[in-house]
Structure 1
Amino acid sequence: MLETNQTFNEIFSRLKSIMISYEGELEVKVDTDENYYLDTKHVMEHNKKPLFFGAVQIKKNYVSYHLMPVYACPDLLENLSANLKKRMQGKSCFNFKKVDEEVFQELGDLTKKGFEKFKRKNLI
């Protein structure tokens, strides 16, 4: 179990490093050892709450990476590699059980494209 915790902590740290670069233009809602959560500053009309951007969370059996831009703009997923696609759960979540630098690099690129797309749509 300790080995799994260390692995999940390493995955969490690596994935958080992708998201953390957007802190300046997004709002940090949660920042703990197991949960890192970012909202945009755009308040949605229907519920008067900020639009969720993304999160990294350590779960019981995996580490999840949530990225709302891929839900709101599904065209971002058009050129997704098979390796990243197989980690996708639902419409905007990717789950990891081990470090995979190649996939993390692709996820970093996808996050950047999502951030830029939200920015062009005036959601950031």
Structure 2
Amino acid sequence: MADMYPLYISLRDLMVRAAPTMKIGKEVQGEMTLNVPTNVMQSRDPAWFGTVRLSGNTVSYYLPPLAMRQGRDLTVPDALKKHAQSKTCFVFQDVAPERFAELEDLTQQAAQAFAA
């Protein structure tokens, strides 16, 4: 777990930086979840925006807006799709600066879609 922790921190910081209007809903060692603020969703319960999770030899980056109305028109770059485990989950085993730049842009777009 310790050797993958820097990768987890890189992806955790990427998500927080790319979606500054989202609120941290959960943060424990190796897992961080961002929620859409309740005033944006006009709900008492927060909606899940994304999670970064360290598990074994991988770090998973979940971005549920890709499967929601707000993100259905977003395009996932082909090179980033190679890291996709599902429509909303990307898995990394090492730092990939070019993929991280694409992921940050995609996360920013998803966050902006909620603000629209």
Same-fold call, TM > 0.5? yes
Q: TM-score, normalised by structure 1?
A: 0.79
Deviation at 1:28, TM superposition (A): 1.1
> Which one of 67, 73, 76 corresponds to residue 75 of structure 1?
73
1:114 alignment counterpart: 110
2:12 alignment counterpart: 16
Distance 2:20 2:105 in 1: 18
Structure with the greater alpha carbon radius of gyration:
1
Q: CA RMSD in A?
A: 2.0
Deviation at 1:102, TM superposition (A): 0.4
**What is the identity percentage for the equivalent residue pairs of Structure 1 and Structure 2?**
29
Give aligned pairs, total. Answer: 112
Contact 2:24 2:35 in 1 (8 A): yes
Runs of 5+ consecutive residues of structure 1 not aligned to the other structure: none
3-state SS, counterpart of residue 84 of structure 1: helix
Cα deviation, 1:25-81, whole Å, max 9, x if unaligned, reads 222111223001111123576xx631100111001231000112211122212xx33
- Aligned-partner residue type, residue 88 of structure 1: A
Q: TM-score, normalised by structure 2?
A: 0.84
Contact 1:54 1:65 in 2 (8 A): yes
Cα deviation, 1:65-103, whole Å, max 9, x if unaligned, reads 0112211122212xx332210111122110001110000
- Aligned-partner residue type, residue 84 of structure 1: L
After the TM superposition, which segments of 4 or more aligned residues of structure 1 sit over 4 Å from their partners? none
